[in-house]
């Protein structure tokens, strides 16, 4: 009995191990190994192991990651489904299955902002060059009541002003007449007939010498020049005059003439001439009488 029992046990053991020795693997174990290999290599078309028993004893984890994705594919063997692990999903939720980039990604703000170069501190301030009228023709005078045109260009300007103020300053009365305010153009027409003291609140234009002022409307006419910006301009001088009505010569009075001084000078000259002539005549007659 002992021999027969040992013999039967040896036969059973031989039968169980003969399959591994000859290269035979049980069907259920082979399916389990094939499924694990396909999942690790990313092959989603591998058939699922239908022979593996389900673990019904493990509790459900309500705090775990979202349910895994099931990829279904149809082949000649029928419809098969493979359950992918949660970590096999794409890291970018916005990317499509075809690999297209996520269209909703924000754009960097630093790339969209334009860079403005700073003005060097040693840059000279901008200036104004008068084009109209031509300043090389000497002194310029304008008649009060007419229209006057001024035009200019900017030089060495790195930061253009949004607008300029144009004024005519009379230093004799210490008053500036406004020609234009917040002007973006480089020319202006001044109607001097409006500055009579009746059509506006300005003082009437007085005869005298005026200085044209052009400066940034954000600053003042006496502001300190800034590098690259427009410096206040006051380099053009002109005269304004008012013509008087016609006066006959008989009723004309010269307010700048000194007739008393001019008459006295003429009488003295005549007296000196008469005295000199008399002395010369007497001395010459005496000289001739002594020699004859």
User: Of all residues in the chain, what percent carry a pLDDT higher than 90?
Assistant: 36
Q: In 122-280, at which residue ranges do the beta strands (DSSP E only) sit?
A: 127-132, 141-143, 147-155, 164-170, 175-183, 187-191, 208-216, 233-241
Residue 151 has pLDDT above 90, yes or no: yes
Give DSSP secondary structure letters for 235-291.
Answer: EEEEEEE-PPPP--GGG---TT--HHHHHHHHHHHHHHHHHHHHHHHHHHHHHHHHH
pLDDT band at 198; cut points 50, 70, 90: low
**Structural tokens at position 292:** 């004859």
Phi, psi of 196 (to 5 degrees): -105, 0
Check if the beta carbon of residue 152 is closer than 8 Å to that of residue 236. no
The residues pairing with 178 across neighbouring beta strands, listed in sequence order, are 167
Residues 50 and 85: their CA atoms lie apart, in Å, by: 17
For the chain, list the domains and their CATH numbers: 1-49 (no CATH), 127-241 (2.60.40.1930)
> How do residues 47-62 score in pLDDT, each as one tens digit?
444 444 444 444 444 4
Residues 211 and 154: their CA atoms lie apart, in Å, by: 18
Q: What is the pLDDT of residue 66?
A: 45
DSSP category for residue 10: H
Mean pLDDT of the 151-172 span: 95
Residue 217 has pLDDT above 90, yes or no: yes
CA distances for 137 relative to 6, 132, 169, 292, angstroms: 139, 11, 22, 70
Mean pLDDT of the 262-287 span: 80
**Structural tokens at position 54:** 């389900």
Q: What is the pTM of this model?
A: 0.48
Tokens 């253009």 belong to 160
Q: What is the pLDDT of residue 44?
A: 47
């Amino acid at each position: 009995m002992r021999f027969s029992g040992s013999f039967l046990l040896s036969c059973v053991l031989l039968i169980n191990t003969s399959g591994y020795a000859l290269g035979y693997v049980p069907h259920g174990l082979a399916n389990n190994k094939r499924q694990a290999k396909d999942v690790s290599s990313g092959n989603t078309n591998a058939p699922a192991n239908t022979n593996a028993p389900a673990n019904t004893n493990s509790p459900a984890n309500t705090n775990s990651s979202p349910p895994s994705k099931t990829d279904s594919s149809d082949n000649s063997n029928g419809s098969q489904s493979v359950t992918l692990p949660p970590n096999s999903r794409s890291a970018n939720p916005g990317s499509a299955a075809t690999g297209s980039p996520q269209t909703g990604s924000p754009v960097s703000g630093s790339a969209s902002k334009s860079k403005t170069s700073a003005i060097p501190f040693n840059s000279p301030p901008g200036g104004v060059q008068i084009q109209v009228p031509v300043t090389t023709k000497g002194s310029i005078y304008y008649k009060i009541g007419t229209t006057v045109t001024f035009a200019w260009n900017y030089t060495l300007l790195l930061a253009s002003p949004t607008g300029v103020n144009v004024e005519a300053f009379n230093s004799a009365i210490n008053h500036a007449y406004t020609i234009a305010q917040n002007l973006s153009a480089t020319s202006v027409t001044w109607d001097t007939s409006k500055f009579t003291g009746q059509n506006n609140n300005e003082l009437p234009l007085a005869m005298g010498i005026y200085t044209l002022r052009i400066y940034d409307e954000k600053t003042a006419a006496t502001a300190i020049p800034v590098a690259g910006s427009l410096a206040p301009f006051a380099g053009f001088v002109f005269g304004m005059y008012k013509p008087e009505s016609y006066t006959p010569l008989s009723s004309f009075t010269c307010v700048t003439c000194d007739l008393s001084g001019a008459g006295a000078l003429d009488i003295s000259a005549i007296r000196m001439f008469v005295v000199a002539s008399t002395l010369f005549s007497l001395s010459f007659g005496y000289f001739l009488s002594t020699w004859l």
